[in-house]
Structure 1
Amino acid sequence: MMTVMVQDRPAAGHSAESALARLIDGMGNDRFGPALASYLHSLCGADHFAAFRLGRDELREVAACCVQPERTARDRVESYVKQGLWKHDPAMTEAQRCVEGGAATIIHVDFSDHGYDDLRPRVYPHVRDRILLCGHSVNGTFGLSVLRADSHAPFAHEAIEKLGQAAELLVAMLAKHADVCQSRPNVAQALTSLPEIENCIVATSPLPRREAEVCARILYGLSSVGIALDLTVSEETVKTYRKRAYQRLAIGSERELLTWYLARWSRWSAERFEAAASTALH
């Protein structure tokens, strides 16, 4: 028998490797933002970051966080995106031009540029230095704005080099995180999308098609008359299908049908999410 001794891990927060491990573990969930902030801090001394998916005429936030998450400047991030301030950002204009070449690019922002006369006080009032990393993956084009606070010195040359060396990895991880989040189940659809309700019942129950269609429309909020009109059958036929379905499911009311359905939708949507996440990560 062979015994392998595993060395103790470095203390949390004291190595880029441990921070990277937490980042990978956080992909696709709410831990990703704080984990990326921690990794960037370990890598290059960053205090804040904001990551985006870039389109020709739109910008979508992927994640944004401060090393101290409670100090994340959500209002400025949202203004930058929703008010279209990014369109007036010289670095973002340069990023969109650079990524057409395919390779990941590092842009060191010069806040003395007159293009920032209006933008800096609105978006970067307490920022000493900013690096914009941009790159393209099979899933789209991404930008990562990495910031140092006023209280610290600008990014050192060595820190910028480290960020450049990790550029392709960071772009790939942003792309995977964005895709996993996009495929996450939307709880609002559980009772507001008739196709969603119907597909779930068909996939998770022994009900014949017509009985499943009737139950789906009951959950959607249609009356017996409304269901009859929608399915082009008589109201009595709808009541017959409903009675048979309740017998098969061993329930006796709409409330019990709702409870039955939500339990199955939860498992069904979770399985779809896990399958999509597994596909995205591989």
Structure 2
Amino acid sequence: MTTMTLRQETACMSMRDAALPALVDTIGEDRFGPALARFLNELCGADHFAAFRLQQNELREVAACCVEPERTARDRVETYVNQGWWKRDPAMAEAQRCVHAARPSIIHMDFTADGYAALRPSVFPNVRDRLLLCGRTMNADFGLSIVRADPNAPFADGAIEQVAHSAEFLMAVLAKHADIRRTRPNVAQALTALDEIEHCIDATKALPRREAEVASRILYGMSSVGIALDLSVSEETVKTYRKRAYHRLAIGSERELLTWYLAHWSEWRGHRFELAASGALH
């Protein structure tokens, strides 16, 4: 069993306290990931973290970053979430059971367990040790995966104690960051998912189906030829639908289409979050 000396513990607390204002200052900002990575490194020696909002059948990333931000394993985080690897993670299954406890729980991974035979090479290569902190806040449940990479030693007992000591603070910080990011419009998101664009335009009921499909793909950045191929129509047909859509919306250019869409997207997105908060949207 490894324990920290009083001098080591005092030094650790000093570094953590110094990083605290910097972390709090970044809540809701893009700088939050690197700041939390530095905080966790000073707190327990973590090399990487990934934070998630836990829902019954869904996992949403809140933030993920390496102590050296340029080395952040974005591909593995996205694989873990988007390809459903989290559903096969024994620790995440345990987190779903523990998250309703009165206080946050820490789950310490055992990578030698059979449940990690497939996960380790695909999602956790070069990982020496991992903690999963999970807890409930007033608005949501969160999981915080804290990783120690090879060739470093596993987390010391004293380091795990430090995480436990800061658990409620970490859950509160994640909840606040997620809430701010959830309610703050992200224009990049509005234009990088075709499904999102289509759903938003459909919700306005301003255009017939084909005109809405063409307008959505214009906003997505597709050319007339690309739209024609995607919808299996001629390029002339695409131009006709575009002309009709512009006339119906009383606009005359892609720039005006973008302005119209972003105004409606902000309103539509806000309405969706109100429904989600009330439990009416599933």
Rounded to whole Å, the distance in 2 between the matches of 1:135 and 1:154 is 23
Q: What residue in structure 1 maps to residue 62 of structure 2?
A: 62
**2 CA distance for matches of 1:223 and 1:112?**
60
Asked whether the equivalents of residues 130 and 145 of structure 2 are also in contact (C-alpha less than 8 Å), the reply is yes
Matching of residue 85 in structure 1 with residue 85 in structure 2: yes
- Where does the alignment leave 5 or more consecutive residues of structure 1 unmatched? 1-13, 197-220, 228-241, 243-252, 274-282
Unaligned runs of 5+ in 2: 1-13, 192-196, 205-243, 271-282
User: Structure 1 residues 116, 22: CA separation in 2 closer, same or farther (over 3 Å shift)?
Assistant: same
Alpha-carbon distance in structure 2 between the residues aligned to 1:161 and 1:135:
16
Q: In the alignment, which residue of structure 1 is the partner of 2:36? A: 36
Aligned to 2:273: none
| Structure 2 SS opposite 1:15 | helix
For 1:52, give the aligned amino acid: F
Match of residue 6 from structure 2: none
Q: Tell me the distance in 1 between the aligned counterparts of 2:104 and 2:29.
A: 25
Instruction: Quote the residue 1:160 is aligned against.
Output: 160
Secondary structure of 1:65's counterpart equals strand
Matches within 5 A, 1:216-235: 222-224=245-247, 226=248
Tell whether 2:200 aligns with 1:177: no
Q: State yes or no: 1:97 paired with 2:97.
A: yes
- Please tell me the residue identity of whatever aligns with 1:124: F
TM-score by length of 1: 0.65
* Shift, 1:186, TM fit: 3.7
Q: TM-score under structure 2 normalisation?
A: 0.65
1:128 & 1:223 partners in 2: Cα distance?
A: 57
Give the C-alpha shift of residue 89 in structure 1. 0.8
State the percentage of identical aligned residues. Answer: 57
Q: Which residue of 2 aligns with 1:27?
A: 27
Aligned twin of 2:128: 128
Matched with 2:151 is: 151
C-alpha contact (below 8 Å) 2:101/2:135 kept by paired residues: no
- How large is the RMSD of aligned CA atoms in angstroms? 3.5
| Aligned mates of 2:122, 2:102 — CA distance in 1 | 31
User: How far apart, CA to CA, are the structure 1 residues paired with 2:186 and 2:85?
Assistant: 29
The Cα offsets for residues 116-161 of structure 1, whole Å up to 9 and x where unpaired, read as 1111111111011111100001121100000101111111111100
Q: Which amino acid aligns with 1:174?
A: L
Specify the code of the residue in structure 1 equivalent to 2:61: E
- What are the superposed Cα offsets for residues 256-276 of structure 1, whole Å, 9 maximum, x if unpaired? x95xx79xx7xxx8xxx9xxx
Instruction: List, as ranges, runs of 4+ consecutive aligned residues in structure 1 with deviation greater than 2 Å.
Output: 186-189, 191-196, 221-224
- Report Cα offsets for 1:75-128 as digits up to 9, x if no partner: 111111111111111111111101122320011111111111111111111011
Secondary structure of 1:106 counterpart: strand
1:209-266 CA-partner distances (Å, limit 9, x unpaired): xxxxxxxxxxxx8555x36xxxxxxxxxxxxxx9xxxxxxxxxx968x95xx79xx7x
Name the SS of the counterpart of 1:173 in structure 2.
Answer: helix
